[in-house]
Chains A and B, each alone.
Chain A
Amino acid sequence: MIDPGSVLTTDLVGLATTRHAYVLFVLLSTIGLYMLIANENLVKKVIGVNMFQTGIFLFFITSAYRVGGSAPIIEGAGPYVSPLPQVIVLTAIVVGISLTAVGLALSIRLYNEYGTLRADALREVIGDE
Chain B
Amino acid sequence: MSDVLLALLVTVPLVAAIFPLLFGLRYENAGWPIALAGSLVVTGLAGTLAWEIFTASTETGQRLVHEMAGYPAPYGIELVGDGLSALIALLISVVSVAVLIYSRSTGPGSNAFYSGFLLLMGGLLGMTLTGDLFNLFVFLEIVGLITYALVASDDSGMAAYGALKYLFLGTVGASLYLIGVGYLLVRTGSLNMLDLQARLADIGYTEPLVQAAFGFILIGLMLKIAVFPLHTWQPDAYTYAPDTVSAYISALVSTTAAYALIRISFDVFTVDFFAANQLITDAVVLVASISIVVGSLLAAMQTEIKRVFAYSSVAQFGMIVVAIGLNSRTALLGAVIHLVGHGLMKATLFMGAGILSSAYGATTISDYAGLAKRSPITSGGIAVTGLALVGIPPSIGILGKWYIALGAVESGSWSVAIIIFISTLLTLTYVARIIETLYFNPPEATHEETAASESVEHVAVGDEAVADGGLETRVATERIVVVAVLAVSTVALFASVDLFTELLDPVFGRFFQ
A and B touch in the complex (CB under 8 A): yes
Residue positions of A touching B, CB distance < 8 A: 1-2, 4-5, 8, 29, 33, 36, 42, 45, 49, 52-53, 56, 59-60, 63, 82, 84-85, 88, 91-92, 95, 98-99, 102-103, 106-107, 109-110, 113-114, 122, 126, 128
Contacts of A59 in B (CB 8 A): 179, 182
Contacts of A1 in B (CB 8 A): 186-187
Contacts of B196 in A (CB 8 A): none
CA distance A13 to B249 in the complex (A): 49
In whole Å, how far is B282's beta carbon from the nearest beta carbon of chain A? 23
**A106 contacts B208, CB within 8 Å?**
no
Contacts of B167 in A (CB 8 A): 99, 102-103, 106
Given A33-B172, A106-B152, verify A56-B182 contact (CB < 8 Å). Answer: yes
Given A52-B175, A59-B182, A95-B138, verify A36-B164 contact (CB < 8 Å). Answer: no
**B182 contacts A45, CB within 8 Å?**
no
Classify the secondary structure of B's interface with A: helix
**B141 contacts A63, CB within 8 Å?**
no
Contacts of A107 in B (CB 8 A): 164
In the assembled complex, B202 has its CB within 8 A of some CB on chain A: no
Contacts of A114 in B (CB 8 A): 157
Q: Which of B160, B172, B207, B236 contacts A106 (CB 8 A)?
A: B160
CA distance A110 to B178 in the complex (A): 29
In whole Å, how far is B43's beta carbon from the nearest beta carbon of chain A? 28
Given A36-B172, A88-B134, A126-B161, verify A4-B148 contact (CB < 8 Å). Answer: no
In whole Å, how far is A35's beta carbon from the nearest beta carbon of chain B? 11
Since A92-B178, A106-B164, A109-B160 are in contact, a sample of 7 more A-B pairs with Cβ atoms closer than 8 Å, ordered by chain A residue number, is A1-B187, A98-B145, A110-B157, A113-B156, A113-B157, A126-B161, A128-B236
Contacts of A49 in B (CB 8 A): 168, 171-172
Contacts of A109 in B (CB 8 A): 152, 157, 160
In whole Å, how far is B153's beta carbon from the nearest beta carbon of chain A? 11
**B168 contacts A63, CB within 8 Å?**
no
**A110 contacts B209, CB within 8 Å?**
no
Q: Which of B140-192 contact A (CB under 8 A)?
A: 141, 144-145, 148-149, 152, 156-158, 160-161, 163-164, 167-168, 171-172, 175, 178-179, 182, 185-187, 189, 191
In whole Å, how far is A99's beta carbon from the nearest beta carbon of chain B? 5
In whole Å, how far is A54's beta carbon from the nearest beta carbon of chain B? 10
CA distance A116 to B171 in the complex (A): 23
CA distance A18 to B185 in the complex (A): 20
A-B residue pairs, 8 tightest by C-beta: A113-B157, A106-B164, A95-B141, A109-B160, A63-B186, A4-B209, A106-B160, A4-B207
Contacts of A110 in B (CB 8 A): 157, 160-161, 164
Contacts of A128 in B (CB 8 A): 161, 236
